[in-house]
Structure 1
């Protein structure tokens, strides 16, 4: 069997961003060279150099030390891996270039594997060619990639072990068959064009992604590179293809795509404005909420600098906070008022190595509500503090929550203590008074709403002071009692007035009694005496007696009138006779 004249691994490209210290591209064959598992993304630079043969390390370091942006280098070395105890012979072309868009330095490595010369001890045969063929077959059958060869008609002339294992065929079932045997029907036209292009362009690598079918009909996404094999005369004799199963890669890509779609749906569904800026302050992504807020379309935003699109931001708080977040790599939140649109915005800035992610929430209504609440609170406090009534509230532990100026002044005057919110309520007076007030608060905290008339006899000498005190339980939204609201009003003057009214009513009742009973009797006596007077013989003895009786009745009427006058103004008139007989 004639060995292939092409390298087993061709043009394996690795790109590393020196500025960000992360890989951009890792070729599909690197796992064979480095010993890393497939689909593993290393983080350290030159990770495959750990597998360099110890005898070649110094020469590799010396060669790579000459690398610069103006001078690429090429170095050859052997590698040893745990899974493959034999040496692999690698030629690496390395260069540095600067990305024209991001202005970041990129380290580019292109790896090719070559077959080393070997020495055979078998006499009488071409030992060198035999050893080389055996070594190549060993490499081909031990690798995890697919390797196939086709003749110029498209029929298999060789398939490696890995290809047979994945697709469920034996090499005997495939050799001599056209590549259409396990090509998906929808891919057949593309595969035929790639095959013809490969035959027509010797030396050109033709990439191809397609789905191949295994023997059971299951589809396997695969990635291939095809190149034509030529003889000494330059004629194409075969087509060789190296490929790999990318089912897991495709699944990861699909999962990433689904995740991105879900993320985009989420970003578009949120009511907050959202935007992403790169490290050059250019818009990478925005959502519809931000486009509506800024009155800009996505085309006007994406790809353009935020400072060019919104020049009014230059020198303002937003620019300062954005640049500070990018510099310190710390999350920042701030509030911005936009004068032109009269909007209040709450802005959260989340930095990353790639730029800034920004959430913007319109809080204009909240700010207006806060202003109105402050205004209402100020007016309410002014109203509460402009009354002589005492107002205070306590929590469940009898600590102050609120009190007005009048309450504070009274407590300070009576005790010399200034009440403070959060501290225990001040109860002053004798022990009995303290217990009475503690009972008042307990009743309110138990849910009772009530009013008491409290007599204060300990505040000073003289007449006691009277207060009407209301106790009201305070409930939260869950209808749980969380405190007590108290309202006290001095009613000493009111009670005095009420007593005076009661006394006056009693005097009026006595006057009515005097008028209806005590005065009517002597008047009736006087009228009766007048009727018995003899006006024809006025000097008769009977008239003299009647006139004397009229004098007595007149005196009696005078006494009753005096009693009425005294009761009217003082309530202390002479006692009334027990009966109407003065005789």
Structure 2
């Protein structure tokens, strides 16, 4: 077998260029790599066939090799072929020989790995706790910084969730992971209570978390793991409970007062009516806005005219931040009876001076008033 035959059928793509950069020879492998027949390339300039190479590193390398008589090696992406080629250019007296091979798979694999590494780095430093679990046993593959903080920086990589956090048994988390893995469907939970050994000292910690379990799929579309995300909301839950407890205590106290008490939010929507106020009005409707006060609670002026809502004591406290004292008006109950009342209204502010509520206190005037 002569050299020409060997070069023709070698796995390397071999092309020859003359001193004017025109193709003079293309072997079979080069035809496959360049997706062009030899007859379509012979006599044509490389810059004409592949204009995307002009003004690139590839052109600079080829011209350097030609001008200096030295071999060069470089990698080049050809958009028209959507492929990466490794090229070795060897200058000769009447032109140049190019030895090329397709390295697209290798380059893409490296880039995919770089992308995966970048994604892992982003996940590692994300402001929420993240763990990647693999397999049916939910084995820890990756834990980010925030997740390590949740478990006292214990090293659990390689362990299954059931072995690493045995104290979670019976709290439903293992079963949820099994469900997501088997069904391939994500799960999202809000304010889920978890009791576990946070510091690794045997002391149980009680915390609330928003969780999200996302199934991970392999190239065959089968579930291979779970991306688990955790946001601790313990402080918010405890604060909400504290506020609710204070509100309940306040309501219990206000219910015991002989005076009627009505409380609104900052916009004037009624949020609380105590028993005395309910008895005076014959109704105790909540979520009533200032525009609806008169109609809902049947309020009239002393001389029996429908009370304009904007002039009501509670409306003035809400809408104009006024403090109203010893105002008088009539209430017409649903049973048709009327009562003359006197009341005070004022806005309520927090420590920063922001209005957060308004309150109205009322009492029935005795006979003869």
Aligned residue for 1:360?
230
Aligned residue for 1:470?
344
Structure 1 counterpart SS, 2:130: strand
Aligned residue for 2:31?
142
**Cα displacement string for residues 352-389 of structure 1 (whole angstroms, at most 9, x for unaligned residues):** 32421111223332333233222211111111111011
- Whether 1:405 and 2:294 are equivalent positions in the alignment is no
> Could you say if the C-alpha distance between residues 253 and 357 of structure 1 is closer, same or farther in structure 2, counting changes exceeding 3 Å?
same
* Aligned positions, number: 291
Aligned residue for 2:16?
none
> Could you say if the C-alpha distance between residues 475 and 326 of structure 1 is closer, same or farther in structure 2, counting changes exceeding 3 Å?
farther
- The Cα shift of 1:452 comes to 2.9
> Could you say if the C-alpha distance between residues 393 and 457 of structure 1 is closer, same or farther in structure 2, counting changes exceeding 3 Å?
closer
8 Å contact kept, 2:342–2:362: yes
The whole-number CA distance in structure 2 between the counterparts of 1:349 and 1:421 is 39
The whole-number CA distance in structure 2 between the counterparts of 1:345 and 1:478 is 30
The whole-number CA distance in structure 2 between the counterparts of 1:336 and 1:251 is 44
**Cα displacement string for residues 443-481 of structure 1 (whole angstroms, at most 9, x for unaligned residues):** 34233322134265988xxxx976441223468999998
- Whether 1:436 and 2:325 are equivalent positions in the alignment is no
Q: Whose helix proportion is higher, 1 or 2?
A: 1
> Could you say if the C-alpha distance between residues 173 and 223 of structure 1 is closer, same or farther in structure 2, counting changes exceeding 3 Å?
closer
Larger Rg: 1
**Cα displacement string for residues 534-554 of structure 1 (whole angstroms, at most 9, x for unaligned residues):** xxxxxxxxxxxxxxxxxxxxx
The whole-number CA distance in structure 2 between the counterparts of 1:296 and 1:398 is 49
Provide the alpha-carbon RMSD of the alignment.
4.7
Aligned residue for 2:146?
289
Q: Whose strand proportion is higher, 1 or 2?
A: 2
- Whether 1:386 and 2:275 are equivalent positions in the alignment is no
Aligned residue for 2:361?
487
Aligned residue for 1:447?
321
1:422-571 superposed matches below 5 A: 422-423=287-288, 424-425=292-293, 426-428=296-298, 432-433=303-304, 435-436=306-307, 438=309, 439-440=311-312, 441-444=314-317, 445-454=319-328, 467-473=341-347, 485-490=359-364, 492=366
8 Å contact kept, 2:8–2:28: no
Structure 2 counterpart SS, 1:3: helix
Aligned residue for 1:62?
none
- The Cα shift of 1:322 comes to 1.2
| One of 4, 14, 26 as aligned partner of 2:6 | 4
> Could you say if the C-alpha distance between residues 275 and 386 of structure 1 is closer, same or farther in structure 2, counting changes exceeding 3 Å?
same
**Cα displacement string for residues 295-348 of structure 1 (whole angstroms, at most 9, x for unaligned residues):** 354xx4333322232233345310111122223333323313215422213122
**Cα displacement string for residues 409-454 of structure 1 (whole angstroms, at most 9, x for unaligned residues):** 2222xxxxx3321354333376854523633255342333221342
The whole-number CA distance in structure 1 between the counterparts of 2:34 and 2:100 is 7
The whole-number CA distance in structure 1 between the counterparts of 2:281 and 2:87 is 91
**Cα displacement string for residues 173-224 of structure 1 (whole angstroms, at most 9, x for unaligned residues):** 59xx7xx6214xxxxxxxxxxxxxxxxxxxxxxxxxxx469xxxxxxx8558
The whole-number CA distance in structure 1 between the counterparts of 2:72 and 2:184 is 53
Aligned residue for 1:309?
164
8 Å contact kept, 1:284–1:302: yes
The whole-number CA distance in structure 2 between the counterparts of 1:250 and 1:351 is 28
Aligned residue for 1:373?
243
8 Å contact kept, 2:261–2:360: yes
Structure 1 counterpart SS, 2:71: helix
Structure 2 counterpart SS, 1:2: helix
Query: Normalization by structure 1: what TM-score?
Result: 0.41
Structure 2 counterpart SS, 1:435: coil
Structure 1 counterpart SS, 2:328: strand
Between the two structures, name the one with larger relative contact order (CA 8 Å, sep ≥ 6): 2
1:23-172 superposed matches below 5 A: 137=26, 139-144=28-33, 167-168=58-59, 169=62
Unaligned residue ranges in structure 2 (runs of 5+): 14-24, 36-44, 77-83, 89-97, 198-203, 218-223
> Could you say if the C-alpha distance between residues 434 and 394 of structure 1 is closer, same or farther in structure 2, counting changes exceeding 3 Å?
farther
**Cα displacement string for residues 6-32 of structure 1 (whole angstroms, at most 9, x for unaligned residues):** 85559xxxxxxxxxxxxxxxxxx9xxx
Structure 2 counterpart SS, 1:301: coil
The whole-number CA distance in structure 1 between the counterparts of 2:233 and 2:315 is 43
> Could you say if the C-alpha distance between residues 308 and 7 of structure 1 is closer, same or farther in structure 2, counting changes exceeding 3 Å?
farther
Aligned residue for 1:278?
134
> Could you say if the C-alpha distance between residues 324 and 454 of structure 1 is closer, same or farther in structure 2, counting changes exceeding 3 Å?
same
> Could you say if the C-alpha distance between residues 364 and 398 of structure 1 is closer, same or farther in structure 2, counting changes exceeding 3 Å?
closer
> Could you say if the C-alpha distance between residues 326 and 162 of structure 1 is closer, same or farther in structure 2, counting changes exceeding 3 Å?
farther
| One of 83, 102, 108 as aligned partner of 1:244 | 102
Aligned residue for 1:343?
206
8 Å contact kept, 1:427–1:434: no
Query: Normalization by structure 2: what TM-score?
Result: 0.61
- The Cα shift of 1:488 comes to 1.4
- Whether 1:182 and 2:72 are equivalent positions in the alignment is yes
The whole-number CA distance in structure 2 between the counterparts of 1:365 and 1:484 is 28
Unaligned residue ranges in structure 1 (runs of 5+): 11-28, 30-135, 147-160, 184-210, 214-220, 226-239, 413-417, 497-583
> Could you say if the C-alpha distance between residues 325 and 448 of structure 1 is closer, same or farther in structure 2, counting changes exceeding 3 Å?
same
